[in-house]
Amino acid sequence: MPIKAASKKISKKKTGSKSPKTSPLLRSALEVLEHGLWHYFRSDTATDLKFAILHVDQGIELLLKEKVRESGTSIYKNPKETITIWAAYNILESSGCGIPEKPNLELLHEERNNIQHKYANPSPEDAAFHISNGVEFVRRFLSEQLNVDIYDHIPSEFLDEFFDGENGT
C-alpha cells in the first residue's frame, strides 16, 4: 500500500448505516473511523495525520465498547464515565473474544496518547503503519465479532487503498 494516496472525491456508500438495528455507539464508531480516513487521504499535512490517528484510534475504542455492550456488559464505570480501552480489552479477552491485533492496536493508542498529551506529530510512515493496522483490525472485528461488512459503512475509495479492491471479500 502506498503511504499516501492522491486526494480524490469520495462518493458516499451508506446503504446499511441508517439501519434501525445499528446501535448509536456502532454508528458513531464508523463515523469517526470514516472521518479519520478522510483526514488520512486528504493531504500530507501533520494536522491531517494527527487527526487521522486520533479518529481511527477513537473508532477502534468505540468498536471494542460496542462489542462489550452487545455481550451484555455495561460500558459504564459510573453514571458519567465509560470504561477505558484497556478495560474493554480485558472484558473481551476474559469472555473469549481474542484480539490478535492487540500489540499493534496498543502502539496506535500510544501514538494517539503522544499526539493528545505530548503534542507529537507522526511521520507519514508511522501514520501509514498505524492507520493500515487499524483498518485491517476494524474490517476483521466488524465481520467476525459484530457481523457487519465494513464496505456497507465506509466508502470503498478509502478501503480499496488498504484491501487492493477486494470489496469486502
Predicted confidence band at 165 (pLDDT cuts at 50, 70, 90)?
Answer: low
Report the residue count for the chain.
169
Cβ neighbours for 24, distance < 8 A, ≥ 6 positions apart? none
Output the pLDDT for position 169.
47
Cα dihedral sign, 15-21-154-166: negative
* Domain ranges for the chain: 24-163
Output the pLDDT for position 77.
95
Burial status of residue 23 (CB atoms within 10 A of its CB: 0-12, 13-18, 19 or more): middle
Output the pLDDT for position 21.
81
Could you give the CA distance from residue 141 to residue 44 in angstroms, rounded to a whole number? 28
| Angle between helical axes of 102-118 and 46-70 (0-180°, round to 10) | 130
Could you give the CA distance from residue 150 to residue 152 in angstroms, rounded to a whole number? 5
The listed CATH number (2.60.120, 2.130.10, 1.20.120, 3.90.25) that belongs to domain 24-163: 1.20.120
CA 96-131-156 angle, to 5 degrees, is 95
Phi (first) and psi of residue 32, to 5 degrees: -65, -40
DSSP summary character for residue 6: P
Q: Percent of the chain beyond pLDDT 70?
A: 85
Q: Which of 67, 56, 29 is nearest to 147 (CA)?
A: 67
Predicted confidence band at 17 (pLDDT cuts at 50, 70, 90)?
Answer: very low
- pLDDT exceeds 50 at position 50: yes
**Mean pLDDT, to the nearest integer, of 8-15?**
49
- pLDDT exceeds 80 at position 10: no
